[in-house]
Structure 1
């Protein structure tokens, strides 16, 4: 069984060793052959430009679709890199093309971020004042996540709700400072990219959906 993971830097496992990525963890858990088709910085539109060569030509049986972190980013006040209607259309097109090739899709929502301020974390790189209506970058991510959920329902695509899983972890007393790269754990005011612990939570959430909805079996 071959699994492709199609997404951005979070899927690529930027800043981590290969065996710390959720893709590697899923490969070990289920004995899967995997293709990590995560490219840092990619939006859904950029992903579609390489979809044929990076995913479809690799002939996976299953494909994780994990975009949104870059699509929501504002390039001007209230102007996302990928406007919401286009984001919805891109996700729908990805699923349609996967189905046409006999590849089963699985969506993921986007993990929460550390917003910070003008000196540290997200707003040190993206102006806070650009994120209005809804108010704040996390609120924008929440809206994009809701679109992912809606497209999953509309297309009857299994969903690994990473955002919800992380919220449950936080409600149980966990901290984003453990799941995301911070000054304390990596020397970087990142607040977006998962640590190894964050990738483990990705793998756990996706793994539960794989076990429940797909013909895969744990090998460990």
Structure 2
């Protein structure tokens, strides 16, 4: 099991020495990481990485965790290459999470290899240029059919997203990321599996999409923050400092 020792040691170092450099977490990704919710709404606080920061503060009340939101709405793993230096590496992070796939999946089967190639290159760059712990996140689910939660301004996108689901493209990207993480021994938080479980339990996933298309609602960001905490502190009691 990957223990995220660097991240946890840095939190403890800051707790023990107020003059030490704060621990830094860079959340890299697309609109979900950016904080896009409903049409035209950006959430700055109830987003998974900020909610994780609050959970960490309860574990380390005398430490400081600075969270860098490096999510960009509409971005893909491939397009994000141009911002790796200024959105990830320059911060000298102690933890980096990488969460792409929602936009990448529109590339169809031909885009899978470039998608994994970009994530692989980003992982190598983070490993070579920083001492950060790394955690990959699969994308969440997207819409499967028309639903009443889609705004009028977004209804023009329904055919493209419905076809994407029918062609199985998003799941194809999820499975490719799962395989890459397993082959390279990288820690992976399977966010998509959380949605699969939800659906298996009878939940209409469209009720959990804030825009009815591809943005998880605020309660899911709470669930994701809880899942992140469980992975990062898997062998540490909640009361530990």
TM-score (norm: length of structure 2): 0.74
Partner of 2:157: 125
Partner of 2:134: 105
Structure 1: gaps (5+ residues): 183-189
User: Which of 106, 112, 115 is residue 144 of structure 2 equivalent to?
Assistant: 115
Q: Which has the larger radius of gyration?
A: 2
Give, in whole Å, the separation in 2 of the partners of 1:205 and 1:21: 13
- Larger RCO (CA under 8 A, 6+ residues apart): 2
Asked whether the 8 Å contact 2:144–2:162 carries over to 1, the reply is: no
Q: In the TM superposition, what whole-angstrom CA distance separates every residue of 1:140-194 from its partner, at most 9, and x where no partner exists?
A: 1111001111121122211110010122123234332342124xxxxxxx42111
Partner of 2:170: 141
Does 1:37 find its partner at 2:70? Answer: yes
Partner of 1:157: 186
Structure 2: gaps (5+ residues): 1-22, 58-64
After TM superposition, the structure 1 = structure 2 runs for residues 1-220 of structure 1, keeping only pairs within 5 Å, are 1-14=23-36, 15-31=41-57, 32-74=65-107, 78=108, 83-100=111-128, 101-117=130-146, 124-125=156-157, 127-128=159-160, 131=163, 136=166, 139-182=168-211, 190-212=212-234
RMSD: 2.9
Give, in whole Å, the separation in 1 of the partners of 2:210 and 2:47: 14
CA positional deviation for 1:125: 1.1
Give, in whole Å, the separation in 1 of the partners of 2:77 and 2:131: 21
Give, in whole Å, the separation in 1 of the partners of 2:193 and 2:76: 22
Relative to 1, partners in 2 of residues 1:216 and 1:68: Cα closer, same or farther, differing over 3 Å?
Answer: farther
